[in-house]
Structure 1
Amino acid sequence: MDRPTIDNEELRVAPNRYIYWKGMIEFFISLFLLVLLSPLLFLICVSIKCCDWQAPILFKQVRVGKNEQTFLMYKFRTMHPGAEKRLNDFLDKNEIEGPMFKLKNDPRITKIGRFLRKTSLDELPQLVNVLRGEMALIGPRPPLEREVAEYSDTDKKRLTITPGCTGLWQVSGRNELSFHEMVVLDLYYIENLTVWLDLKIFVKTIGTVLLSKGAF
């Protein structure tokens, strides 16, 4: 697929019936995946607790969703306790352009956390967010409030639909892409949303996770 570009026109959300059924379809898929993966989820929980018995298993973080509404997003904890308070110590080492933060060798990440991130297993609790209607399986990734504070009007267009666990950005280069490229891909997805595009992203996500491409 050719890389789309951003223009200044009003965003055209794809007008089709699929967008109305998308939430219901993804609800049942997420429920099925939670049941199917329950043994793996239990094993991950035990592994995290064995590394630090007193620290929580889940990491809850306020994210910005559809129409700039905030919600608590769930992930398996991959960092040492208190890591969020140390963020300012590493902002000058940011390895991604734009209002996002990524650091490949972040010292705040635990050993088990590094594995979970590399395999994207830390994202599995977000299936609960999908069941709650706060996220979709596929869509733009939900940003942090401090990131949205730096958004331009064009950047905010990616907040017009329900955020997803995976999306076009993740299967097109992930953390290897700049923030601008992520926005371009998200807006392309919003304007061209179809069941076939979702299926294509879902299949590509499996390959991206297995290859751990762009994950850190």
Structure 2
Amino acid sequence: MLYAFDSSIKDEIRIGKTRKYRAYFLIKRLSDIFASIFAMLFFLPIFLIVFGFLLIHDGGPVIYRHRRIGRGGRPFDCFKFRTMRRDADRVLAELLSADPCARREWEQQHKLRNDPRIHRLGRFLRMSSLDELPQFFNVLRGEMSIVGPRPIVEAEIPRYGERIYDYLSMTPGITGLWQVSGRSDTSYQHRVDLDSRYRETCSLLLDLKIICRTVIVLLFERNGC
């Protein structure tokens, strides 16, 4: 099912730069398939260890499915290791109703810097980005790419305004410009700017640079991915 967007935006998605970069998207998709298969095999031992620790630490379910909006407005379930308590929705509702500062931060950024929903093991998984390992399954299924805009939820669509087509014309990525640009220290508007910039300048060389930068950020910086 496609979400209903303005016809001019859908035309932009269908006949915009995607036609100009048809070869780019084809090579990118083939690269994603091979890279995701390699990554799943390479990280299989870590995947099994994290799976077991999560099961022991907080029980099931271990894999969390979150509805996101993909290329062309198609919704999909984004896979992650569950880093939040099982009563996360209740905890968030209670916090937002009792704490005006937290409510304002949530409304502006759609995230919380000190999120009480995240359990202890989940904090480590997020800091190391190991919680995103299951997203390689999304890449293999064609719902995500290795590099692209950060996948958004339906409630975030209005924040993009006229530039929503920049996001919708690309396949969401495990990593991208936002993830390697100090994501914890950037505003949501800057995130939208980065998605638009990526759409305008996307290339295989840029994707390779982002992947290399992602490795550096994961190894040496705490506020990146």
Match of 1:116 among 116, 125, 133: 125
Match of 2:33 among 8, 15, 27: 27
Provide, for residues 166-186 of structure 1, a one-character-per-residue CA deviation record: whole Å limited to 9, x for no partner: 001111111211111111111
Deviates more, 1:143-152 or 1:190-199: 143-152
Match of 1:61 among 61, 66, 69: 66
Which amino acid in the other structure matches residue 75 of structure 2? T
1:6 counterpart residue number = none
Deviates more, 1:98-107 or 1:164-173: 98-107
1:40 counterpart residue number = 46
1:171 match: secondary structure: coil
2:145 counterpart residue number = 136
1:60 match: secondary structure: strand
Contact between 1:78 and 1:117, CA under 8 Å: does it hold in 2?
Answer: yes
Q: Matches of residues 118-197 of structure 1 in structure 2 within 5 Å?
A: 118-197=127-206
2:4 counterpart residue number = none
1:88 counterpart residue number = 93
Give the deviation of 1:204 after TM superposition.
0.4
Unaligned runs of 5+ in 2: 1-11
* Residues paired across the two proteins, number: 206
Q: State the structure with bigger RCO (CA 8 A, min sep 6), 1 or 2.
A: 1
- Percent identity over paired residues: 38
| Shift in CA distance, 144/89, structure 1 to aligned 2, threshold 3 Å | farther
| Shift in CA distance, 203/94, structure 1 to aligned 2, threshold 3 Å | farther
Contact between 2:177 and 2:198, CA under 8 Å: does it hold in 1?
Answer: yes
Instruction: Give the alignment's TM-score, normalised by structure 2.
Output: 0.84
More helix by share: 2
Tell me the distance in 2 between the aligned counterparts of 1:100 and 1:161: 22
